[in-house]
Structure 1
């Protein structure tokens, strides 16, 4: 398959990809904080990090889904290097043990003279927690027969398809397992990844990896993406999680407490974007670039006025926010919970900046939510400036219920 980045401007502008990753569709950063006085969500990030801040590891649901998104993230897809259910159980137990220990923090184990160091030392002798979360998901390929789990596959899980405008790169897609590691400090994320890979060496191989970060709000509110716009403002409220985020009817009993996880690696072509006027950029998004508010008026949390703008005279009918979230009763159950991160991978082979979005979202139903919205976005004007090229569909496992439990225990029972 040709590289998605080696394209001419002419070819790019006539064939780029649409994506649900940007704009007004749900964003975790924007809504999981305390509400403002007027009832709208608060997205301002804390300015002081607490190295002792800790998320509870045990629970019905995993960390890293509905908690306030941390500043840094790694998403890493893994392929198993073995067959057999027993060895898979041992792998999942090991990942659980390491995640439990890492999120608890504390003093690193003492080193024996004749043994390898027990820790990388990257964080020093006392491990901070920095709100570290480790979230584990399983991919469609885990149910291909190698582990005897075919009959237990989540009802809607499948390999991620290529949408009309995607340019998917095979070795940047899918995976038997996926790890999402998030924390308030970058070195805490990297340390956790190294630790887990060290303890699972020989069992898994990294298929693909992408790290990301959240910008500070400028000046306030939601973070901005590399295109200069506030990236995602609307998100489900906690009282909607049961019918928008967590497993619903028709799923196997073991899947209760889990959620469908979509990861999309989305390149942004900033050199092209920076050559168009702000007015055109705002028409493409449907929002004011400075404030984040809809073009119909108000701040970033204001409700766009579609009712009195049926023909798109103020907010174009093909604007990103209008396609992503039409705000009709019929589309109310399509909202997703998202945790989107910017990325910067340096420079592409053609000399352009390799920047983009690490898009992650969680939902109850892949087809009803992500796929439906993604298809509605096909051909939007924003597609001329972005291109999805990797990622996958996964099922985020239910939470670890206690000290004797482990990731996927119900699946392997």
Structure 2
């Protein structure tokens, strides 16, 4: 057995002397498997798990391994399936075992492969539900985070970062309990909606009896043929002022946590925002632009001509009036001084049973190195934001997303090493 294969299976570091001892026992001649090297190592008290490699041949492939989890600074895909989960396990060890089980499955899914090989036994359920068979990787990214409730539930309160706390109640919030909170989250993004859904469905299925879905939401983005910022269902460009995902130095300032077991990770804020399309559609274009603080067609700030033109919220016209209305969404967000990385998607889920209005809006996702950044922005918007006339916040959650996984490691290892 080669050293690379040994490293694939051993989570506990062993010395060269120990490895020579194992080799002398004949372990080197045993094939990897439940009754092979892995089985021998388990019998000797070592913690073993499978490692699957990132594919080098898969089409439209996002790598799983790296300094950071995928789905944060990854270029935004066209579809999302976001799920907030309730954890059913009752011990840290069971949770750790779940993450070890999920890790190779996530790599396979992101490789565009079936999660497990097909069986020829037709008398048992298949290991993979199969709806993504024949589809390529579709730039699938999978991001996993832990919520504040998880730490108290499993006796890990001493490891819960001080920053990880339920978001405060904001003005105009009308949160529904069924869309709020969660112990874990899985964010699956892909250029094919079925690939994204398949990933979450199969990871939850593989964890049957250990987790269950608390709430979920599918979403979509559409990009102009020539590229550029996608538009939300109000037809305005969404995410213009994001930090560049190619600027690692800026991402270090805005997105990546730089301390503790979460170093290299990030905080995810999820908000389900209903958009009252019927009311918006009866509003004049002038008032719509005053609500956003941007021109609809170009995406430019009011008084400017191009989407990425800089602006001064204090600038006034010849009459001494603010060019950017002080109740506009852009004005108040800029005034907060805080920055976040938005990764939002639109959703449309039929109609409201009580009104017949569209059940549609935004699954707002943002990443930041501290949830306080989002809280600062949202408090700045407060009751003054003219957008409040057209939206209602229905769901809310915050999660700490683990740092990336290195080959030979597993999802969330830094957390369990800190125990």
TM range (shorter): 0.7 to 0.9
Correspondence for 1:240: 250
Contact persistence 1:73–1:181 (CA under 8 A): yes
Correspondence for 1:173: 180
Change over 3 Å in CA distance of 1:127–1:96 after alignment to 2: farther
2:105 to 76, 98, 105: 98
Correspondence for 1:387: 392
Determine if the alignment matches structure 1 residue 406 to structure 2 residue 406.
no
Correspondence for 1:140: 148
Deviation, structure 1 residue 296: 1.2
1:131 to 139, 148, 162: 139
Change over 3 Å in CA distance of 1:271–1:57 after alignment to 2: same
Correspondence for 1:342: 346
Distance 1:54 1:316 in 2: 44
Contact persistence 2:141–2:190 (CA under 8 A): yes
Deviation, structure 1 residue 307: 4.6
Give the 3-state SS of the residue equivalent to 2:214 in structure 1. strand
Distance 1:304 1:374 in 2: 21
Deviation, structure 1 residue 215: 1.6
Equivalent positions of 1:219-230 (< 5 A) are: 221-230=228-237
Determine if the alignment matches structure 1 residue 273 to structure 2 residue 277.
no
Distance 2:166 2:296 in 1: 36
Contact persistence 1:283–1:315 (CA under 8 A): yes
Change over 3 Å in CA distance of 1:348–1:409 after alignment to 2: same
Deviation, structure 1 residue 71: 0.5
Deviation, structure 1 residue 221: 2.5
Distance 1:270 1:193 in 2: 29
Give the 3-state SS of the residue equivalent to 1:58 in structure 2. coil
Cα-to-partner distance string for 1:294-342 (whole Å, 9 max, x where unaligned): 111111111124353296532111211111113xxx82xx210110100
Change over 3 Å in CA distance of 1:118–1:363 after alignment to 2: same
Contact persistence 1:296–1:305 (CA under 8 A): no
Contact persistence 1:160–1:174 (CA under 8 A): no
2:125 to 104, 116, 124: 116
Higher-RCO chain (CA-CA 8 Å, sequence separation at least 6):
1
2:197 to 185, 190, 195: 190
Distance 1:218 1:322 in 2: 29
Give the 3-state SS of the residue equivalent to 1:94 in structure 2. helix
Give the 3-state SS of the residue equivalent to 2:282 in structure 1. coil
1:288 to 268, 292, 295: 295
Cα-to-partner distance string for 1:331-372 (whole Å, 9 max, x where unaligned): 2xx2101101000011011100011001101001111x1001
Distance 2:168 2:313 in 1: 31
Determine if the alignment matches structure 1 residue 207 to structure 2 residue 214.
yes
TM-score, structure 2 as length reference: 0.80
Correspondence for 1:63: 70
Change over 3 Å in CA distance of 1:120–1:312 after alignment to 2: farther
Deviation, structure 1 residue 218: 7.5
- Which sits farther off after the overlay, 212-221 or 71-80? 212-221
Determine if the alignment matches structure 1 residue 352 to structure 2 residue 357.
yes
Contact persistence 2:167–2:375 (CA under 8 A): no
Deviation, structure 1 residue 203: 0.6
Correspondence for 2:224: 217
Contact persistence 2:164–2:399 (CA under 8 A): yes
Change over 3 Å in CA distance of 1:219–1:383 after alignment to 2: farther
Distance 1:306 1:391 in 2: 29
Give the 3-state SS of the residue equivalent to 2:167 in structure 1. coil
Q: What is the root-mean-square deviation of aligned Cα atoms in Å?
A: 1.8
* Aligned positions, number: 352
Correspondence for 1:371: 375
